[in-house]
A and B are shown apart, each in its own frame.
Chain A
């Protein structure tokens, strides 16, 4: 019965010791937010399928100040995700024969165009 006592470097709080990893972990906080936002959207779709009473309940939750605040937090992280996603694009797509700067700028412009189109659509149908 011998147990080998090898030194294992403690890993607790590893990411707090380096600003790069702190930014990384902040970025990762957007992952559960996207997951939860999708569930919230799904709740709306299900409520829509169930009828006007169920949908009114979902809408009451959607207009609750706390829910709007939560969605504002999701919005901030979503913008951060867009920015970081396109910033690392030159590293995640190394085989593409495009200048890294062009790739990042192009990605951000594409996001702005798509978002503008989405807003124009929502604006258009409500006029």
Chain B
């Protein structure tokens, strides 16, 4: 019997779900609301210079890579199943698009973070 690849996707889903549950509210608040509005945090919180210095750190690089990748694999698996729940039984096609996107995003993030340098 051919071994199922489901455990890989479920593991990535679980890790992403736990990570999102722990950090997403504050991460979204800081990057999407507080810093852009200058609310609670200054508007230069995510300034080019500060972010450049931040992403030169190897731990920051890893953290960003993991967040981008796991958020997409987590959201991806649920999107894939939601399509089925809504009556779109697209199976392989949507799987390729959704998870292909997640893999591609991970690679692009890796490229960008390496390009920024150490």
Contact = CB atoms under 8 A, between A and B. Distances in A.
Sort chain B's interface into a size bin.
35 or more
Contacts of A30: 75, 78
A3 interface: no
A72 interface: yes
Interface string A17-56: 0000000010010111111111111101110110010011
Nearest to B24: A78
B85 A25 contact: yes
B25 interface: yes
A59 B115 CA distance: 20
A63 interface: yes
Given A38-B75, A48-B52, A48-B116, A28 B85 contact: yes
A126 interface: yes
A31 B42 contact: no
Given A62-B36, A118-B23, A55 B79 contact: no
A6 to B, nearest CB: 18
A107 B20 CA distance: 12
A41 B75 contact: no
B30 A34 contact: no
Sort chain A's interface into a size bin.
35 or more
Given A39-B72, A118-B26, A78 B48 contact: no
A122 B116 CA distance: 21
A11 B87 contact: yes
Interface centre among A36, A86, A115 (most CB of B within 10 A): A115
Contact of B29 (A35, A36, A75): A75
Interface string B63-84: 0100111011011111101100
Interface in B91-118: 98, 101-102, 105, 108-109, 111-113, 115-116
27 contacts: A12-B87, A25-B82, A30-B78, A31-B76, A32-B79, A35-B102, A37-B32, A38-B67, A38-B75, A41-B71, A46-B112, A48-B55, A48-B112, A56-B48, A75-B33, A78-B25, A85-B17, A85-B20, A107-B21, A114-B22, A114-B23, A115-B22, A118-B26, A118-B30, A119-B30, A125-B50, A126-B44
